[in-house]
Structure 1
Amino acid sequence: MKSYSEAYKEAGVDITAGYRSVELMKQYVAQTMTAGVVSGLGGFGGLFELPAGYRKPVLVSGTDGVGTKLKLSFLLEKYDTVGIDCVAMCVNDVICCGAKPLFFLDYIACGRNVPERIAEIVKGVAAGCVQAGSALIGGETAEMPGFYPEDEYDLAGFSVGIVEKDRIIDNRAMQAGDVILALPSSGVHSNGFSLVRRVFDIDHITREEAERPIEALGGRGLGETLLTPTMIYVKPVLSLLERVSVKGISHITGGGFYENIPRSIPDGLGAEIRMKEVRVLPIFRLIQERGGISTRDMYNTYNMGVGMSVVVPKESEAEALRILRESGVEAYRLGEITVSEEKLRLL
């Protein structure tokens, strides 16, 4: 017997739309399957078998959402990229511990389940999982009429990774003279959008205005630029970890340089960064100019063009840069570790 409830549909929830969403998304989910996946879609839980070869495996988890960047998705009616952001915000945190992401689950809450839209969102989630080498083994779509507007949704998820216990990245081996490398960002990523929306009045502009080319952005529209997906650093960093001693990794998210770089630095040491070395992206200059925002606040809110920082021994700098560049990441030297009571100094 087919599952169907006329009363529930009259209340605003069409459960058959949920079944249709699952059917549409299966083609994307299938692209993420890895050797450890035990279950398929449709069960009450996602099953994943831990890989062999670990002596003392430690599981590492991370969870996050996309935040108010979704307002750009609503405005431009583009739904297939924000899923990449959702995955990125989780797996980029997990990799900071040196952990390889194993699997991912998403959660989509919406005012009305439009199967084609849900499938487009999951298409992006799957694309992010492929970039991270992670399996998408489950998720949840919640139709919540009266709670969310019909054409809006929220998106969150979580990742679980694995690392050998004695290979967990911590800061115990860090010392003065170590080098800080910058891994460039693709743009604003998924943080600071409440300020972005205020600066550009996103909640009140039209789609046409959002798509209008801007010379300062190289002819790209504001909407396209801001909706650029978050960079996923998993595979380049895993490649680096195989060949170089990495002493600390910071994912530059909300709170910018000031909040995130110090998180990977032990007491008694500090990061000394020369601001002239930071390859600031045009979108950040535009945000600062339009919003009249201080440089201090910019570096305490945005990644400014640096999505991740990695600390390596000075003697490994050239090798680390070569490995990252071979992986498609144009990394560069950002600063160095010094003896300091200040965790961060921007010079």
Structure 2
Amino acid sequence: MSNPYKDAGVDVESGYKISKFVKENTSDKSLNIGNFGGMYEIPEGYRKPVLISSNDGVGTKILLTENGALDTIGIDCVAMCVNDILAQGARPLYFLDYISTGKVDEKIEQILVGVIEGCRQAGADLIGGETAEMPDVYSDTSYDIAGFSVGIADKDDILLKENVKDGDVLIGIASSGLHSNGYSLIRKIFFKDNTFDMHSKLSELDDKELGEYLLSPTKIYVQDVLPLLRKKLIHGIAHITGGGFYENIPRMLPAGMAAFIDVNKWPKNKIFDVVKKYGNIKEDDMYHIFNMGLGMVLAVDSSSASEVLANLNSADTQAWIIGDIQQSQESSIKLMGVE
């Protein structure tokens, strides 16, 4: 007997298989997956609990994964959401994903492997999601992914601009590479203006495949930063995403304060030099677009800087003092050492 919905290009059975896959591969053994709504009980211990939410996607980076390298893009999606929540001083609680495609098949499970791993790194529960099969909107191989996350903080502990003070020290934490921003430009530089592909080996990248650098997943900073938040050692956090330094660092600054940063204080991932070279991009423009090797910048009291730095570098994390906060006529950023 024919199935009219399947004949139209939508196989509902494939969606049931995805729900079963998530149930079998997550540590959360609640009955959330498959319900009409995800449930989460607010944890105890908060005097004035405030929920902080974020939603995001991964932009055109997804176009680089259609060759089958799908197991990290879910980490990117989780990271873009939970790192924003962390920047407000909150602990991520849970995450939901939305994946749309022309055909639900094994690629969805591969994407969800990354989502599950991202949630593990963030300490967040995957409490639900949606997989939408949309023939004619997407091809069988194309897809999009978006995420939504909620975190929690005590009202008195939320990081506000007013917390950042004159004389605060700025500490930068290493990124894992390009993260998930600027990929429309990245694709133009390498695949349109130049004749590279994902398997190209560049001497500037130690003869490693270009795709290894371009698909490196976004670093999730929860395990590094949350202990510092609990100790109340952080005044402000800037998550360096789209818009680079110039857009994101001023977002944590109060009126009359500027961030003075020496760009020679930390090593840069080689991919940024390669992007600058083959894209013929001015160095100042690079800081307008990319994270330039720092995924997060923390503002901390000068008396706490050594402790914060020691905590961040006690494991594999790389962090450096990169500048400070000074009084200024406007909330701005001053980069020293940029040609």
TM range (shorter): over 0.9
Query: Relative to 1, partners in 2 of residues 1:338 and 1:303: Cα closer, same or farther, differing over 3 Å?
Result: same
Q: Could you say which residue in structure 1 is the equivalent of 2:40?
A: 48
Contact preservation (8 Å) 2:118, 2:220? yes
Does 2:42 align with 1:25?
no
Does 2:142 align with 1:152?
yes
1:139-164 CA deviation, whole Å, 9 max, x = no partner?
00000000011101000011100001
1:273-321 CA deviation, whole Å, 9 max, x = no partner?
1122242211011001001111121100000100000000111111000
Map of 1:275-294 to 2, 5 A cutoff? 275-294=263-282
1:5-43 CA deviation, whole Å, 9 max, x = no partner?
711111111111111222233332x23x2xxx8533111
Q: Could you say which residue in structure 2 is the equivalent of 1:8?
A: 5
Q: Which amino acid aligns with 2:104?
A: N
Contact preservation (8 Å) 2:236, 2:298? yes
CA distance in 2, matches of 1:40, 1:147: 29
Q: Could you say which residue in structure 1 is the equivalent of 2:86?
A: 95
SS in 1 for 2:313: helix
Unaligned runs of 5+ in 2: none
Q: Which amino acid aligns with 1:263?
A: R
SS in 1 for 2:138: coil
CA distance in 2, matches of 1:219, 1:194: 24
CA distance in 2, matches of 1:241, 1:42: 34
CA distance in 2, matches of 1:238, 1:40: 26
Taking only aligned residues, the RMSD between alpha carbons, in angstroms, comes to 1.7
Question: Of the candidates 300, 317, 322, which is equivalent to residue 312 of structure 1?
Answer: 300
Q: Could you say which residue in structure 2 is the equivalent of 1:344?
A: 333
Q: Which amino acid aligns with 1:82?
A: I
CA distance in 1, matches of 2:143, 2:194: 18
Moved over 3 A (4+): 202-206
Q: Which amino acid aligns with 1:51?
A: P
Question: Of the candidates 172, 175, 198, which is equivalent to residue 185 of structure 1?
Answer: 175
Contact preservation (8 Å) 2:199, 2:209? yes
- TM-score, structure 1 as length reference: 0.93
Contact preservation (8 Å) 1:39, 1:48? no
Q: Could you say which residue in structure 1 is the equivalent of 2:60?
A: 68
Contact preservation (8 Å) 1:41, 1:137? yes
Contact preservation (8 Å) 1:62, 1:158? yes
User: Cα distance, 1:217 vs. partner?
Assistant: 1.4
CA distance in 2, matches of 1:100, 1:286: 35
Q: Which amino acid aligns with 1:287?
A: V
Contact preservation (8 Å) 2:244, 2:288? yes
User: Cα distance, 1:97 vs. partner?
Assistant: 1.0
- TM-score, structure 2 as length reference: 0.95
Does 2:122 align with 1:139?
no
CA distance in 2, matches of 1:55, 1:327: 32
CA distance in 1, matches of 2:204, 2:59: 26
Unaligned runs of 5+ in 1: none
User: Cα distance, 1:69 vs. partner?
Assistant: 0.3
User: Cα distance, 1:248 vs. partner?
Assistant: 0.5
User: Cα distance, 1:108 vs. partner?
Assistant: 0.1
Question: Of the candidates 51, 59, 63, which is equivalent to residue 59 of structure 1?
Answer: 51
CA distance in 1, matches of 2:230, 2:20: 39
CA distance in 1, matches of 2:36, 2:232: 41
Query: Relative to 1, partners in 2 of residues 1:103 and 1:270: Cα closer, same or farther, differing over 3 Å?
Result: same
Does 2:110 align with 1:120?
yes
Does 2:234 align with 1:243?
no
Which stretch of the first structure deviates more once superposed, 213-222 or 284-293? 213-222
1:170-227 CA deviation, whole Å, 9 max, x = no partner?
1223222110000000000000000001001169968xx3123222112321111110
CA distance in 1, matches of 2:195, 2:71: 22
Does 2:68 align with 1:77?
yes
Q: Could you say which residue in structure 2 is the equivalent of 1:334?
A: 322
CA distance in 1, matches of 2:264, 2:84: 27
SS in 2 for 1:276: coil
Identity %: 47
Contact preservation (8 Å) 1:169, 1:248? yes
Q: Which amino acid aligns with 2:41?
A: E
User: Cα distance, 1:66 vs. partner?
Assistant: 0.9
The alignment of Structure 1 onto Structure 2 pairs a total of residues equal to 335
